[in-house]
Amino acid sequence: MREVFVEAENGSYAIKIERGLLPRLGAELKEMGISRAAIVTDETVNALYGAAAEKSLREAGIRAKIIVLPAGEHTKSQKYLYEIYDELAAFGVHRSDALVALGGGVIGDLAGFAAATYMRGIGFIQVPTTLLAQVDSSVGGKVAINLPYAKNIIGSFYQPGLVLIDTATLDSLDARQFAAGMAEVIKYAAIFDETMETMIRARDLEAIVCRSCEIKADYVRRDPFDKGCRMELNFGHTLGHCLEVQTDFSVLHGEGVAVGMAAMAKIGENKGITEPGTYERLISLLDDFGLAHDPAIFDRETLEKTVNKDKKMEKGGVRAIFLERMGKAVAKTLPAAELIAGWEELL
């Protein structure tokens, strides 16, 4: 088993990574003193892993209940947040109990926000089953729901007590979901560690997940509330979120990030921020996984609306993340109109 430890001002915990780890869920929670747990999952993941997760809890003597929600980004909403609250109340969950997020980023974000706010905070365990969730969203404590016109606009920081990663769950991902997860992995290579390019091309999954978690844990340790260096993790996200909203979330998060990263790398080169040749290295990795990166996919009207509502807007403009070179990110504040003009130059 590989372990990565997150040590942050607002919570410390272990990330445990191993193939075949899901059956240990109950034993892990029992060691934490948990006697009652609600599992939040979606219909797709429940069909694959819900019974195994519930069985593990019950065999450990933990009272368990499964809350099954529809799959998809639209579930990350007020409607389903309140459904979770109602289910927790009916199950008699108290502050000493726990909520287990079993699924991808949508379930992790939604369940985490429910855990953070129900009774002002109950135990929270992440069991991510997608590559994107394993390498990114399950680590760091960002929890949120969406509004129809803005992603993750209602949220908080609430660290889990444990992240349990069973890499065998990646076997059930289709090629599209896998590629979307690899977009976030490529992001780590782009902003922090260019040597990851070797393991990415080799598709060494356990090494990829572990190294990604190490990088994310380091950012969280240095900047738990996303006020400084942790913003570098948003590389590709400002424009990526625009594409998600534009397509009513039919585009996967990682697919949006891929297009956003490519656009920001090219805009950076055009502005003299990014070392020439960086864009080509980046799209070579994206091409390896069939990730689209044509900037013409963006709709100007949606881009303007979404960028101006971005959480990273501050006095003077939007806090945009560029690359200095492969493996090194840099933040620049520029007017939203200038960012959009930079995109238009790519067309």
Binding residues for Zn(2+), by number, are: 184, 237, 253
The enclosing H or E element of 153 equals strand 150-157
**Count of Cβ atoms closer than 10 Å to residue 37 Cβ:** 26
Q: Is the dihedral of CA 49, 24, 136, 86 positive or negative?
A: positive
- Cα distances (Å, whole numbers) of residue 101 to 82, 165, 210: 16, 12, 20
Q: Which residue has the tokens 């090494």?
A: 207
What is the spatial distance between Cα 89 and Cα 95, in angstroms, rounded to a whole number? 11
Q: Which amino acids are annotated as binding site, given as ranges?
A: 105-109, 129-130, 142, 151, 184, 237, 253
Per DSSP, the three-state class of 100 is strand
DSSP-derived 3-state class of residue 265: helix
Q: How far apart are CA 295 and CA 270, in angstroms?
A: 14
- Known binding residues for NAD(+) are 105-109, 129-130, 142, 151
- Asked whether 292 and 310 are in contact (CB, 8 A), the reply is no
Which phi and psi (to 5°) does residue 106 adopt?
Answer: -60, -50
Residue 67, token pair as written in the block: 């809350």
- Beta-carbon contacts of residue 203 (< 8 Å; ≥ 6 apart): none
Q: How far is CA 214 from CA 10, 139, 188, 261, 287, in A?
A: 18, 10, 10, 21, 25
The C-alpha atoms of residue 317 and residue 308 are separated, in whole angstroms, by 9
Q: Which tokens in the block code for residue 340?
A: 């959009």
DSSP 3-state helix, strand, coil percentages of the chain (rounded to 5)? Answer: 50, 20, 25
